[in-house]
Homo-oligomer: A and B are copies of this chain.
Amino acid sequence: MEMPIIPLIMCGGAGTRLWPASREVRPKQFLPLFGTRSTFQDTLRRVSGGLFDRPIVITNASYRFMVLEQLAEIGIEADVLLEPMRRDSGPAIAAGAAFAQNRDNDAIVLALAADHVVPNDAAFVAACRQGLVAAGEGRIVTFGVKPERPATEYGYINPGEAVAGEVRAVAKFVEKPDAMKAADYVNSGYLWNSGNFMFPAALLLDEYRKVDAASVEAVSNAVANAGRDLGFVTLEPKAFASANAISIDYAVMEKTSRAAVVPVSCGWSDVGSWRAVWELSEKDAQGNAAHGTAVFEDSRNCNVTTDQALVALEGVDDLVVVATVDAVLVSRQKDANGLKRLVTKLKTVAPKVTEEHLKVHRPWGSYQSIDNGVRHQVKRIVVKPGGRLSLQKHHHRAEHWIVVRGAARVTVNETVKTVHENESIYIPMGAVHRMENPGKIMLELIEVQTGSYLGEDDIIRIEDDYLRS
């Protein structure tokens, strides 16, 4: 019987290359960019069952409840490792490898980015089978995508001698090229470096130790002394903090003599720009793509993504238009650096639209502000079955709750009461209160706050199921 592969899904990154859809609090890997599932969810489903063991997910602590929610949506269970701070991909993969070794000392790990698109799952899994043989023979195998065009946004791999089946040794990793070099690379049979890897956990840690033994020691200690809260594996912060921030490429891949590459044709993309989203999208005869409601008049090769508003384009070509409730982007996308400069500017003049979404995810569900006045705010709140907000009070606001779906169990000071659909309850200023969903369906309610100060920081938490302060 084949050795099972342990998937290690890395989803702790926060990019703004897909702003305004992607933001600090909910980055690209958690967004349903194509259809209804996120790339994080698609990645998990790609390596579910068959060859693959229970996955390990490693993420930033701030994304922990989003990860749980997205796992639950697709019915996949995983061990979720929390990084207390970002240390780049080297320590993340080392932590995953060390954790996998606890499960099986001879574990073979498949480290995958959570924000890539792979249209051809079968081709990818076939490549995993090839890679598994080479990994079993002591190789750190990277997935090399057969180029579809002379891309300048990816690094390349020059494949060397044959290793096992189609797997080749890595002769050389090369950086992102200019257009001329890229054409040379493609003609010479180079492969795109996808940044996904398969390796025996023990081998990866050994090779990493040769370069930075102290960081491997630190990461191993962070795993050995990890806490367990609410089912999460919380890496020990002091130890993890002392590991050097470095990418797995610099820490291991570009230095090890064990690097190998398995060629794969799976339609892969790292979705690193809005242009890439357009390339991956279905388009009309004029080359226009629409995610959401869009109308095109005399326009070509445009890409519209909209949450809610209808977007109408007239007389324009090669534009990306992204409309969210609080921010609209219109960009030529002639080079991806333009958006980077724009977001840098926004971080100074309007930081909120780069960091937060209007819809805020919480461990118990979510809320969204739908109206703001001088002395009032209206929120739509959704509480999952079994979800319970903290026991809390506010100094400066009273709240009216109207249940529009499901039922709420509400505590106000000494009394506990069930509020049903089409019923309301009033929380006076200063009252100690709590809301929970005791039912089997989502609870939806409208909250109307009134008062002189309505900031999120006027919450005094007295008790919290989710250990938030």
Using a CB–CB distance below 8 Å, which chain A residues touch chain B?
A: 20, 293, 295, 297-298, 306, 308-316, 319, 321, 323-335, 338-339, 341-342, 345-346, 349-350, 353, 370-371, 373-376, 378, 380, 398, 400, 402, 404-405, 421-422, 424, 426, 444, 446, 448, 450
Q: In the complex the two chains form, is A342's CB within 8 Å of B380's CB?
A: no
Q: In the complex the two chains form, is B424's CB within 8 Å of A310's CB?
A: no
A286 CA / B374 CA spacing, docked (Å)? 35
A400 CA / B311 CA spacing, docked (Å)? 33
User: Which residue on chain B has the smallest CB distance to residue A404?
Assistant: B376
A424 CA / B450 CA spacing, docked (Å)? 11
Contact of A350 among B295, B333, B345 (CB under 8 A): B295
A-B contact pairs, 23 of them (CB 8 A): A295-B345, A297-B342, A306-B328, A312-B328, A312-B331, A314-B329, A314-B331, A314-B333, A314-B338, A314-B341, A314-B342, A315-B335, A316-B319, A316-B331, A321-B330, A323-B328, A325-B325, A328-B328, A373-B404, A376-B405, A376-B444, A378-B380, A402-B450
A308 to nearest B CB, angstroms? 7
A239 to nearest B CB, angstroms? 41
Q: In the complex the two chains form, is A329's CB within 8 Å of B312's CB?
A: yes
Given the known A-B contacts A328-B323, A398-B422, A402-B448, are A315 and B295 also in contact in the complex, defined by CB atoms under 8 Å?
Answer: no
Q: In the complex the two chains form, is B332's CB within 8 Å of A295's CB?
A: no
The winner among A314, A446, A450 for most chain B CB atoms within 10 A is A314
Q: In the complex the two chains form, is A330's CB within 8 Å of B309's CB?
A: no
Given the known A-B contacts A378-B378, A422-B398, A426-B424, are A315 and B334 also in contact in the complex, defined by CB atoms under 8 Å?
Answer: yes
Q: Which residues of B are found within 8 Å of A332, using beta-carbon distances?
A: 314-316
**Count of this chain's copies in the oligomeric assembly:** 2
A441 CA / B248 CA spacing, docked (Å)? 64
A20 CA / B311 CA spacing, docked (Å)? 10
A424 CA / B400 CA spacing, docked (Å)? 8
A307 to nearest B CB, angstroms? 10
Q: Which 4 A-B pairs have the closest CB atoms?
A: A315-B332, A376-B404, A314-B331, A297-B342
Q: In the complex the two chains form, is B376's CB within 8 Å of A446's CB?
A: yes
Q: Which residues of B are found within 8 Å of A326, using beta-carbon distances?
A: 308-310
Given the known A-B contacts A295-B342, A312-B342, A375-B404, are A446 and B444 also in contact in the complex, defined by CB atoms under 8 Å?
Answer: no
Contact of A404 among B295, B338, B342, B450 (CB under 8 A): B450
The winner among A335, A371, A405 for most chain B CB atoms within 10 A is A371
Q: In the complex the two chains form, is A402's CB within 8 Å of B405's CB?
A: no
Given the known A-B contacts A297-B341, A323-B323, are A370 and B373 also in contact in the complex, defined by CB atoms under 8 Å?
Answer: no
Q: Which residues of B are found within 8 Å of A374, using beta-carbon distances?
A: 405
Q: In the complex the two chains form, is A323's CB within 8 Å of B346's CB?
A: no
User: Which residue on chain B has the smallest CB distance to residue A352?
Assistant: B310
Q: In the complex the two chains form, is A380's CB within 8 Å of B375's CB?
A: no
Q: In the complex the two chains form, is B334's CB within 8 Å of A295's CB?
A: no
User: Which residue on chain B has the smallest CB distance to residue A341?
Assistant: B297
Q: In the complex the two chains form, is B313's CB within 8 Å of A327's CB?
A: no
The winner among A306, A308, A326, A404 for most chain B CB atoms within 10 A is A404
Q: In the complex the two chains form, is A295's CB within 8 Å of B346's CB?
A: yes
A235 to nearest B CB, angstroms? 36
A422 CA / B449 CA spacing, docked (Å)? 9
Q: Which residues of B are found within 8 Å of A404, using beta-carbon distances?
A: 373, 375-376, 448, 450
Contact of A295 among B323, B349, B424 (CB under 8 A): B349
Q: In the complex the two chains form, is B329's CB within 8 Å of A309's CB?
A: no
Q: In the complex the two chains form, is B405's CB within 8 Å of A373's CB?
A: yes
Q: In the complex the two chains form, is A350's CB within 8 Å of B310's CB?
A: yes
Q: Which residues of B are found within 8 Å of A309, using beta-carbon distances?
A: 323-328
